[in-house]
């Protein structure tokens, strides 16, 4: 007879405890512990979430090596983020805010893969098949190899998998799927953990590329236990501002590729459209000859990207001035302000400072430092920057400008978009020749950069 156990789980991080806590010991969240009833059945075998391969251990030198073949999804930006395509048998978790476009992206991906001759099974636990058909008609996703079903029971889904034998499987979403053997409600910590383990067994055992859609909490993290992200092979976040039409796809975990890549999409009436040249998108509304506006060349993985960085310095009547940064590290901005005060003699202690990356993009690499310094100095002195200058470089505490990586790609992107000058670290000019149509100005200190940019 099954033994009933009562446990408490944290809905934010999945912390498990035999008693209730007001504050989760794992993540510190308040009122996040929920009660769940677990039936423990004594069995001779192993848990349903783990499968036994009956393989014997081998010396690593005797194992045949070979690159895992990838399946092209038909969407270049998604292939870029995944590392060149999706790996057969891999388990991918896609998270994002409600209404951001996760289902739209995966339905378009399913249609592209179905058009290439592969069988695709799209399982929706939140929409009926007719609702899915209406969205597919709007997106033009009507391929005969695309199978759609509305099912929440994991047993019914597995029966459909055995019947269709798909090459690509989409579960939308993992919070709606339930396992009858687990007594807790769908979306609970136990259900999400056990169902994910079951899908992992199916994906690895049958070689089906599987994508799970996950809801996110109000903090932006994927809902459910933190173990969920450890179980899957790849974790993607679909981000975007509701007031902007474009969406960003980032990988925070990828066992088969880099996590530095970023895919950019634009939402329109026909669905999501790839943005092949993001620099033009972020610079399309840039004002020319305005104080505080600077163009910075950044790297997102292997892709160079030009973004407008704006700064506003204004006097304040309060004893403690405000410091606000959007898109860049707030602490990094405070460091640059301290360097400008100490090394450049700018009195910013009674000035509010605001820094913003236009378009809502986020950059965290140190190459943005010099552009922040130029924008702040330009706004403080009320001297406009040159409209066809690109600035990048890392700033040290003594006011020196340090070299950054992948300079050639940044300069070529600036030349392709018609910029005339690039202000960059002097040490980054060694060992290569830049394009003839663009002037390269090397600087060693912040003072040298300001003398060139604000002359």
Residues that constitute the known binding site for ATP: 96-103
**For residue 216, is it left (φ>0), alpha (ψ between -120 and 50) or beta?**
beta
Q: Which residues contact 376 (CB under 8 A, 6 or more apart)?
A: 292, 311, 313, 336, 337, 340, 348, 353, 355
343-348, long-range: CB within 8 Å, 24+ apart, which pairs? Answer: 343/398, 343/399, 343/445, 343/446, 343/447, 344/377, 344/399, 344/446, 344/447, 344/450, 346/377, 346/380, 348/313, 348/321, 348/376, 348/380
In this structure, are residues 423 and 390 in contact, taking their beta carbons and an 8 Å threshold?
Answer: yes
Helices (H), 44-167: 76-82, 102-115, 129-139, 154-164
Q: How far apart (Å, rounded) are the C-alpha atoms in residues 189 and 193?
A: 6
C-beta neighbour count of 2 within 10 angstroms: 11
In this structure, are residues 12 and 23 in contact, taking their beta carbons and an 8 Å threshold?
Answer: no
Residue numbers belonging to the annotated binding site: 96-103
> C-alpha 440: how far from its chain's center?
33
């Amino acid at each position: 007879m099954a033994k009933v156990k009562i446990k408490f789980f944290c809905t934010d991080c999945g912390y498990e405890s035999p008693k209730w806590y007001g504050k989760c010991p794992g993540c510190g969240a308040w009122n996040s512990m929920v009660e769940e009833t677990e039936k423990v059945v004594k069995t001779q075998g192993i848990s349903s979430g783990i499968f036994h391969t009956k393989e014997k251990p081998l010396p690593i030198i005797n194992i045949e090596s070979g690159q895992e073949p990838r399946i092209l999804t038909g969407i270049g930006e998604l292939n870029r983020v995944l590392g060149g395509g999706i790996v057969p048998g891999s388990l991918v978790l896609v998270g994002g805010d409600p209404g951001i476009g996760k289902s739209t992206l995966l339905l378009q991906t399913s249609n592209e893969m179905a058009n290439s001759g592969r069988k695709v099974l799209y399982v929706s636990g939140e929409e009926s098949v007719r609702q899915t058909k209406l969205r597919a008609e709007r997106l033009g996703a009507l391929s005969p190899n695309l199978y759609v079903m509305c099912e929440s029971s994991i047993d019914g889904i597995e029966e459909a998998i055995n019947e269709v034998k798909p090459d690509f499987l989409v579960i939308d979403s993992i919070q709606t799927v339930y396992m009858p053997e687990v007594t807790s409600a769908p979306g609970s910590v136990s259900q999400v953990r056990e169902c994910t383990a079951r899908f992992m067994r199916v994906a690895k055992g049958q070689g089906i590329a599987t994508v799970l859609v996950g809801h996110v909490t109000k903090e932006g993290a994927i809902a459910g236990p933190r173990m969920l992200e450890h179980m899957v092979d790849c974790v993607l976040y679909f981000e975007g501002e509701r007031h902007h039409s474009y969406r960003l796809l980032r990988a925070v975990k990828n066992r088969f590729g880099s996590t530095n890549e970023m895919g950019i999409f634009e939402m329109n009436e026909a669905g999501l459209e790839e943005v092949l040249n993001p620099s033009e998108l972020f610079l399309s509304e840039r004002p020319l000859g305005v104080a505080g506006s600077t163009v910075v060349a950044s790297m997102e993985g292997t892709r160079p990207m030009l973004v407008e960085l704006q700064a506003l310095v204004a006097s304040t009547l309060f004893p403690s001035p405000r410091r606000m940064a959007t898109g860049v590290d707030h602490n990094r901005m405070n460091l640059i302000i301290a360097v400008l005060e100490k090394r450049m003699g700018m009195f910013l202690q009674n000035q509010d400072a605001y820094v913003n990356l236009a378009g809502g993009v986020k950059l965290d690499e140190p190459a943005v430092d010099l552009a922040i310094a130029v924008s702040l100095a330009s706004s403080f002195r009320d001297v406009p920057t040159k409209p066809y200058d690109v600035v990048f470089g890392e700033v040290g505490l003594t006011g020196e400008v340090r070299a950054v990586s992948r300079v050639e790609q940044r300069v070529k992107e600036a030349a392709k978009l018609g910029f005339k000058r690039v202000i960059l670290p002097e040490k980054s000019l060694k060992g290569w020749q830049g394009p003839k149509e663009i002037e390269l100005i090397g600087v060693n200190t912040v003072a040298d950069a300001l003398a060139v940019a604000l002359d």
